[in-house]
Amino acid sequence: MSTEPLLEVSHLTVDITSAQGPRRILDDISLSIAPGEPMGLVGESGSGKSMTLRTILGMLPHGARVVSGEVRYAGHDILTAGVGRGYRSSVRGAGISMVFQEPAIALNPVMRVGQQITDAVAERKRLSRRAAADLAVELLERVGIPDPGRRARAYPFELSGGMRQRVMIAAALAQEPNVLLCDEPTTALDVTIQAQVLDLFRSMQQERGLGLLYVTHDLAVVAQLCTALSVMQGGRIVEQGGLQAIFDDPQHAYTQRLLRSTPRLPAGPLDAVVAQ
Ligand SMILES: Nc1ncnc2c1ncn2[C@@H]1O[C@H](COP(=O)(O)OP(=O)(O)OP(=O)(O)O)[C@@H](O)[C@H]1O
Ligand SMILES: [Mg+2]
């Protein structure tokens, strides 16, 4: 498997303008995602984790602007491709998918979930209606949704929050991305379902080198899934490196606090955890 970076963010700086004037929300963010080197992204609330993911996808909120920096995907600068719908679909077509923090943003309330999962894919792969429906059911099953045939015909409001979150994950995976950006994708899930979803991400990394940038508050999840870690505070990356090295010897006060306050953190070598 090649370890050339799939996604490279260099010196990304973003301002947002409010009534009080411009405010820097991302300051000189650099990170790199290679196949087989999934990266966890942690940091306190408001530190810029979601903004980093949204900037990569060109989905900045109104008033936000990239001041400087670059986002390269498979060697191409994707920020200068211009912001907007065309840009987003071209990036998605090129293989970056995102699982959003709030299912409400990403799901269409008046469309059956099965159709939402396969909508984009059916067109691209020229699937028949029947084949698309089968694919949706298969993906719902893979993310642990019971009775997936029936659930595929449900509308989002008919499903629990945890199920909606899994529908989003299924929709992101349907695109067969090379890079998956995840924003707290398993927070609303109970621990057994969370374990199943983490297993699914892990097998996609191992089987086809899926690149992963994974935002979470849970270092135990990072330990199970990632080999690298970036820690954000106040719009900056304050610590970055191999996961084991950071767990062994955290440099930044925030990282030290986070490690101390994670009760489920495995004590042994990370390899033992990953091998479980
Ligand atoms: N739509 C918006 N308009 C203006 N400012 C915003 C907007 N969304 C986020 N911000 C600001 O950008 C900064 C970074 O926010 P971001 O959502 O990236 O934080 P986060 O690390 O994802 O936090 P959380 O862990 O709570 O999800 C914060 O100061 C936030 O107030
Ligand atoms: Mg966020």
The reply to whether ligand 1 has any atom less than 6 angstroms from the CB of 48 is yes
Instruction: Please state the pTM of the whole predicted model.
Output: 0.88
Distance 97 CA to ligand 2 centre (A): 16
DSSP track, 41-76: EEESTTSSHHHHHHHHTT-PPTTEEEEEEEEEETTE
Would you report the helix, strand and coil content of the chain in percent, each value rounded to 5? 40, 25, 35
pLDDT grade, residue 276 (50/70/90)?
Answer: very low
Distance separating alpha carbons of residues 143 and 114, to the nearest angstrom: 13
| 240-246: long-range pairs with CB below 8 Å, 24+ | 240/31, 243/40, 243/270, 244/269, 244/270
* Minimum CA distance residue for ligand 1 atom 5: 16
Domain with CATH 3.40.50.300 in the chain: 34-59+76-95+177-276
The reply to whether ligand 1 has any atom less than 6 angstroms from the CB of 43 is yes
pLDDT at residue 245 above 90?
A: yes
Considering only CA atoms, which of 136, 99, 138, 104 is closest in space to residue 119?
Answer: 136
| Ligand 1, atom nearest to 43 Cα | 21
pLDDT grade, residue 89 (50/70/90)?
Answer: low
Distances (CA, A) of 199 to 138, 203, 207, 227, 270: 16, 6, 12, 15, 16
- Class at the top of the CATH hierarchy for domain 34-59+76-95+177-276: alpha beta
pLDDT at res. 104: 66
Which residues are found with C-beta within 5 Å of the ion, ligand 2? 50
Q: How confident is the prediction for the chain on average, in pLDDT?
A: 86
Best residue among 13, 23, 26, 47 to mutate for probing ligand 1, ranked by most atoms within 8 Å of CB: 47
